[in-house]
């Protein structure tokens, strides 16, 4: 299957715009007519293995690692399962202690990342309950070597900076959360969760309409050398992913912080030359986030806030709000990832970098 750019200037832009379709394709066939999630699509014995899971260990790299970090919030709050997430290059050399009945999960777009594959090979003899990979490439090494597999259907991703692979991984991880949490949550809540997932493609289409506004903002970034991304809860890893995207393709130094850590260091860096990008969904942490933002404003920091329509954030001097459609708290991290992709893309365009093939980076890191 040869991917073409079509009318798009870059693969990355095309792949950003393909997300509604990629999410739909990833969800297809995973819920039965009676509203039950089909464990059997994961492979042999999946039904009985899933019933035994008491903990989850997620291992991955780069953008796929950020997907794992978001999933931890879901697995703990919805499925009630303790969850650890680690980059594969660290995990593989650690002397891990494996708690009983732990499901080992790798996440990978390519299925060929050397460190992730090495971590899986180690895990297979380390006493895990089972190994499961969430992967976009059928027949890849991770898919072949894992006990169970959950495929994303993003289609070929050519841009080195991952976009549609990330959001489809998040969809797969939320589906997995529903599956692992089925007993605790009950069928009705699980179905409500699936409804939220099914509503996402339409919401992403609305978010893509923000592109002209994001493009206008991007011009402000091009002359900056540093940017801070802030978020709380599952939006902290979303901020990490936003910072990674900006670094990868625009070469602007970007760092993500949990907003509550602002006082413990990064506040010292804030001045009018460092834009601060924040994720402000309308959740239980919004009021706390607002007070973090006041601290930034008090130091002259320029704020770019991605906010939920109903979050009640006001524009003002040095404060730019981009409003996203109403979305459930659970699905919000998926929706909020999209404008960050557009932001980094348009900043890179202004800077004139090679968007699809950023310097020094590879799409798939198959050597250590």
DSSP 326: P
Q: Report the Cα 15 to chain-centroid distance in Å.
A: 15
| Local structure of 21: helix, strand or coil | helix
119 or 303, CB closer to ligand G6P?
Answer: 119
Least Cβ distance, residue 63 to ligand G6P (angstroms): 3
Identify the residue among 108, 131, 152, 302 touching ligand G6P (CB under 6 A): 108
Residue 104 bridge partners (DSSP): 57, 131
Least Cβ distance, residue 197 to ligand G6P (angstroms): 21
118 or 267, CB closer to ligand G6P?
Answer: 118
Give the span between the Cα atoms of 139 and 162, in whole angstroms. Answer: 20
Identify the residue among 55, 57, 113, 177 touching ligand G6P (CB under 6 A): 113
Phi/psi at 51 (5° precision)? -70, -20
Least Cβ distance, residue 358 to ligand G6P (angstroms): 8
Structure tokens, 211: 């592109």
Residue pointed to by tokens 């802030």:
230
Binding mask 260-299 for ligand G6P (x = CB under 6 A): ----------------------------------------
Residue pointed to by tokens 């493609």:
201
Q: Closest Cα partner for 64 from 142, 146, 10, 121? A: 142
**Residues that are catalytic:** 363
- 357 lies in the site for ligand G6P, by CB under 6 A: no
Identify the residue among 109, 168, 278, 341 touching ligand G6P (CB under 6 A): 109
92 or 232, CB closer to ligand G6P?
Answer: 92
Cα distance from N-terminal residue to C-terminal residue, the chain: 28
Structure tokens, 37: 């999630």
Identify the residue among 89, 162, 278, 341 touching ligand G6P (CB under 6 A): 162
169 or 305, CB closer to ligand G6P?
Answer: 169
Least Cβ distance, residue 59 to ligand G6P (angstroms): 10
Rounded to a whole number of angstroms, the CA Rg of the chain reads: 20
What part of residues 55-94 is at the interface with ligand G6P (CB under 6 A)?
Answer: 61-64
20 or 62, CB closer to ligand G6P?
Answer: 62
Nearest residue to ligand G6P, scored by beta-carbon proximity: 62
Q: How far is CA 299 from CA 200, 221, 256, 282, 293, in A?
A: 37, 18, 18, 25, 10
Least Cβ distance, residue 240 to ligand G6P (angstroms): 12
Count of residues near ligand G6P by CB under 6 A: 15
Give the span between the Cα atoms of 102 and 18, in whole angstroms. Answer: 35
Least Cβ distance, residue 145 to ligand G6P (angstroms): 14
| Local structure of 241: helix, strand or coil | helix
- 116 lies in the site for ligand G6P, by CB under 6 A: yes
∠ Cα 295 301 302 (to 5°): 125
Binding site for ligand G6P (CB under 6 A): 61-64, 108-110, 113, 116, 160, 162, 361, 363-365
């Amino acid at each position: 299957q040869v991917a073409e750019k079509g009318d798009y200037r870059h693969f990355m832009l095309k792949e950003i715009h393909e997300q509604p379709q990629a999410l739909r394709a990833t969800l297809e066939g995973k819920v039965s007519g009676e509203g039950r999630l089909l464990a059997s699509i994961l492979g042999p014995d999946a039904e009985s293995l899933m019933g035994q899971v008491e903990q989850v260990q997620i291992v991955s790299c780069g953008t796929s690692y950020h997907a794992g970090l978001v999933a931890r919030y879901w697995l703990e709050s919805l499925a009630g399962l303790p969850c650890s997430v680690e980059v594969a290059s660290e995990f593989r050399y650690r002397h891990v202690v494996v708690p009983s009945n732990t499901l080992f999960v790798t996440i990978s777009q390519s299925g060929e990342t050397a460190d992730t594959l090495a971590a899986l090979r180690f895990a297979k003899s380390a006493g895990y309950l089972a190994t499961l990979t969430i992967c976009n490439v059928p027949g890849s090494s991770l898919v072949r070597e894992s006990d169970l597999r959950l495929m994303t259907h993003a289609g070929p991703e050519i841009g080195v900076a991952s976009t549609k692979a990330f959001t489809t991984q998040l969809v797969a991880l939320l589906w997995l959360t529903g599956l692992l949490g089925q007993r605790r949550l009950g069928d009705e809540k699980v179905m409500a969760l699936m409804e939220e997932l099914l509503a996402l493609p339409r919401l992403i289409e609305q978010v893509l309409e923000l592109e002209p506004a994001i493009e206008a903002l991007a011009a402000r970034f091009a002359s900056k050398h540093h940017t801070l991304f802030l978020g709380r809860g599952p939006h902290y890893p979303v901020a990490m992913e936003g910072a990674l995207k900006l670094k990868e393709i625009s070469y602007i130094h970007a760092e993500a912080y949990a907003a509550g850590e602002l006082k413990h260091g990064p506040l010292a860096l804030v001045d009018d030359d460092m834009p601060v990008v924040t994720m402000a969904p309308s959740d239980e942490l919004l009021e706390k986030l607002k007070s973090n933002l006041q601290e930034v404003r008090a130091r002259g920091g320029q704020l770019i806030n991605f906010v939920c329509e109903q979050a009640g954030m006001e524009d003002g001097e040095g404060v730019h709000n981009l409003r996203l459609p109403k979305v459930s708290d659970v699905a919000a991290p998926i929706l909020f990832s999209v404008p960050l992709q557009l932001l980094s893309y348009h900043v890179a365009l202004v800077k004139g970098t090679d968007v699809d093939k950023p310097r020094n980076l590879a799409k798939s890191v198959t050597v250590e």
